[in-house]
Amino acid sequence: MDPFKFISTTAPCGVPVHVRTVRTPQTKGWLVIKILIHAGAYLDQIPGTAHFLEHMHGRGFRGHETAEDVQEVYNGLFTRTMCGYVFTEGTKFQAKIKIESIWDALDCLHNIIFYPIFSQDSFIMEKGVIGQELWKHLGNPINIKVTQQMLQDIYGDSIWSNLFITGGLPEDLSRISLDDLVAFKDQHYHLQNMEIIFAGDVGVKKACQYADYFAKDAPTGEKSSRMPVMKDSWPAPSRRELRISVSEKLGVSKSHIKSSLLGIRRPLPKLQNIEVLNILGNIINELTFGLVRTELAGSYSITHKVSINFDHTAFRLSVVMRPDILEKVSSEVQKIFNDFRNTEGLRLLFERKKQLSRNEYAMKDCNLLAVTEHAFLNLLLFDQGIATLAEIQEQIDLVTFEDVCELMEQEIAPYAHWLYQTP
Ligand SMILES: [Zn+2]
């Protein structure tokens, strides 16, 4: 059975429902429910509003109005798996639930989403929590400035220049009022913006009953607008390179700053076959890793990320290293980018990465949370329903060596934006 094969239907209440029945000894008596709200950070009037609202349920909701009550429910009914998360494009609430307590759990989910407690006290308390979270997440203030500058260079005045931190910046947080949260909820948290995903010991008929029970007497409203779609290719960045000295910017001694960073970014139009970029990213990752580690004996930390947003995909690579090897690493990576096709052993590496991609997807098999997350991201980011494992593997199989080389030569190498961050 294909792990990603969902059955999609519409419950009598009008909410789209997506069901993956998994009946194994491990899933007996359990299900994961994930509620997708098509309203995310892109709808913020003040950056951070959607994220702030998502936080409020932890302070209390109808029927469980104190933080202690909430903790009790989360630890018991929701087996400590309850969480909310805000993306640029949308919001999710999810939990793993024992079917014997499903009705109580649905009542709670209903109240969490539609009836959080909006008291001035809990608002102020939660503002403190989010302030800490931003402080931890954003870290060094230079990172914010550099990222803002880089995004301006690449995206110009586009909406993408402003959406890099879904939680907003600290200065935004102080501008958000309790009324803004209420307004956001009233406008966007209603049935016409929702879809529900189920996986586990549940069939389609039962899932629809659960959806109807969750939706009973819930607010309705106008569908919120989706992210703007940019039909044309992304322009070349206005500046190809950004060089920043952190110590200069922060006004501190160079010796306090221990590492350098090479960051490469290229936004792309939405690709026909995203697996081409996935495989290319994996290849570059390994080549860069080999380079920094074995040839230059540098301390390293490399992340590559292929991000998919509503209307585009993007390639990102960051390499953190000892400052003295930055220029060397950069020139070697430039060589890889400019003469990619002729990299030694590339064909073999390509075949290996392709096989690896296939296996990675296959391993997601029986984990209920992973299966629902796959469905969630498909529904959030694509408009073609939920891809099955067979369909994904077919896409992977279709990727040729030539596709990967062409993507690099025609789209990435000539237009990538290079960031050099030095002490
Ligand atoms: Zn948060």
Any idea which fold 241-422 has?
Answer: Cytochrome Bc1 Complex; Chain A, domain 1 (3.30.830)
Ligand 1 centroid from CA 349, angstroms: 39
Buried/exposed code over 196-225 (b: 16+ C-beta within 10 A; e: otherwise): bbbbbbbebebbbbbbbbbbeebeeeeebe
- In 3-state terms, what secondary structure has residue 203? coil
Domain residue extents for the chain: 7-215, 241-422
At 332, list the tokens: 């070697």
Q: Convert the pLDDT of each residue in 382-408 to its tens digit.
A: 878 899 999 999 999 999 999 999 999
- Can 7-215 and 241-422 be said to share one CATH topology? yes
177 Cα–ligand 1 center, Å: 17
Taking the CA of residue 329 as centre, how many other CA atoms within 13 Å lie in the half-sphere pointing to its CB?
33
Q: Using the mean position of ligand 1's atoms as its centre, give its distance from the Cα of residue 171 in Å.
A: 16
- How many A from CA of 53 to the centre of ligand 1? 10
Distance 44 CA to ligand 1 centre (A): 15
CA of 274 to the centre of ligand 1 (A): 29
| pTM, entire model | 0.90
**pLDDT tens by residue, 115-133:** 999 999 999 999 999 999 9
Rounded to the nearest angstrom, the distance between the alpha carbon of 98 and the centre of ligand 1 is 26
Å from CA of 22 to ligand 1 middle: 31
Which runs of E-coded beta strand occur in 187-249?
194-200, 241-245
Strand partners, 319: 262, 302
How much distance in Å is there from the Cα of 2 to the middle of ligand 1?
Answer: 34
pLDDT at position 166 is: 86
More confident: 335 or 290: 335
State residue 308 phi and psi, 5-degree precision. -120, 120
DSSP E strand boundaries for 12-59: 16-21, 30-37
- With both helix axes pointing from N to C terminus, report the angle between 346-363 and 274-290 in degrees, rounded to the nearest 10: 120
| β-bridge pairing 30-37 and 91-98 | antiparallel
The two counts, helices (H) then strands (E), for the chain are 15, 11
Domain 7-215 has CATH 3.90.1300.10: no
Residue pair 399/275 in contact (Cβ under 8 Å)? The answer is yes
49 Cα: distance to centroid of ligand 1 (angstroms): 11
Torsion of CA 101, 103, 105, 111, to 10 degrees: -160
33 alpha carbon – ligand 1 mean position (Å): 20
Q: From the CA of 126, how far away is ligand 1's center (Å)? A: 10
CA of 254 to the centre of ligand 1 (A): 33
For residue 55, the CA-to-ligand 1 centroid distance in Å is 6
C-alpha of residue 130 to centroid of ligand 1, in Å: 6
Q: How far is the CA of 393 from the centre of ligand 1 (A)?
A: 34
Give residue-wise pLDDT tens across range 281-321: 999 988 888 887 777 766 667 666 777 665 578 888 888 88
